[in-house]
Amino acid sequence: MKNVIEKGDTVLVHYIGKFTNGTTFDSSKERGPVKFKVGDGSLINGFEKAVVGMKAGDKKIIEILPENGYGPYHAELVSTIKASQLPPHIKPQIGLELELSSDEFNPISVIITEMKNGEITLDGNHPLAGKTLVFEVEIMEISNKKSM
């Protein structure tokens, strides 16, 4: 066991993710703690940086600005298409995630965010892009990078 978290350590952590208005958007409490290697990029940068220096048993609240989270919201990633442009086997509904591709660009995931008057709005931003996130973090366990 290690005392203080450093880059390269594997960490077991419980968290509750909230928006600044207090609404919870995610929590590990029901699923079990999350295990990740600090610095490997599997979690957002702000989260990984915030746990460095913490110890097993430590709890803290961290606020992550968009630039250290899911990035800014890009209006140019939002577009509207006619519902008739979707393949017939797709039943559009708000929240449905689709993957768009063409010869001109790599595949991009989009979410249907609005449907009205025969038109569908597609948003290619991550759902948490542009949002400041607040995490309640509890460090459950730290494994030394040398013992892994």
User: What's residue 33's pLDDT?
Assistant: 96
With residue 142 as reference, give the H or E element that holds it. Answer: strand 133-143
- pLDDT of residue 8 exceeding 50, the answer is yes
Please tell me the pTM assigned to this model: 0.81
Are 45 and 67 in the same domain?
Answer: yes
pLDDT in tens, 35-45: 999 999 999 99
71 contacts 129 by C-beta, under 8 angstroms: yes
What is the domain range of residue 56? 10-71+129-147
Q: Number of structural domains, the chain?
A: 2
Nearest to 114 by CA among 78, 66, 89: 78
80 contacts 122 by C-beta, under 8 angstroms: yes
122 contacts 109 by C-beta, under 8 angstroms: no
- 139: domain CATH number is 3.10.50.40
